[in-house]
Amino acid sequence: MTMNDMMKIVDLSKLFPKQVVLLSTEELREKKIIYKIAQSYLKATEADKKLIWVATMQPVDKLPLIAADYGYPINEYIRRILFVDFISKGAGVSPKMKTEMNISYIENPNNMVEISMTLSDLFDDPTVGLAIIDSVNGILSFNRQDRVLQFLHFLSPIARETDTTILLALERSEHPKELERAIELRADAIMNIKGKILNLKTRKGSAAIDISLKDYE
What domains lie within the chain, and their CATH numbers? 3-216 (3.40.50.300)
Q: Can you give the pLDDT at residue 6?
A: 47
Could you tell me which residues are beta bridge partners of residue 197? 194, 210
DSSP strands (E only) in the chain? 20-25, 50-55, 81-85, 102-105, 128-133, 165-171, 189-194, 197-202, 205-210
**139 Cβ contact list (under 8 Å, min separation 6):** 56, 86, 109, 115, 133, 148, 151
Is 94's pLDDT higher than 70? no
Q: Which of 183, 175, 56 is nearest to 112 (CA)?
A: 56
Question: Dihedrals φ, ψ of 201, to 5°?
Answer: -135, 125
> Which band of pLDDT confidence, cut at 50, 70 and 90, is reported for residue 17?
confident
d(C-alpha 159, C-alpha 122), whole Å:
12
> Tens digits of per-residue pLDDT, 96-136?
554 588 999 999 999 999 999 999 999 999 999 999 999 99
Instruction: Identify the pLDDT of residue 18.
Output: 85
pLDDT at 13 over 90: no
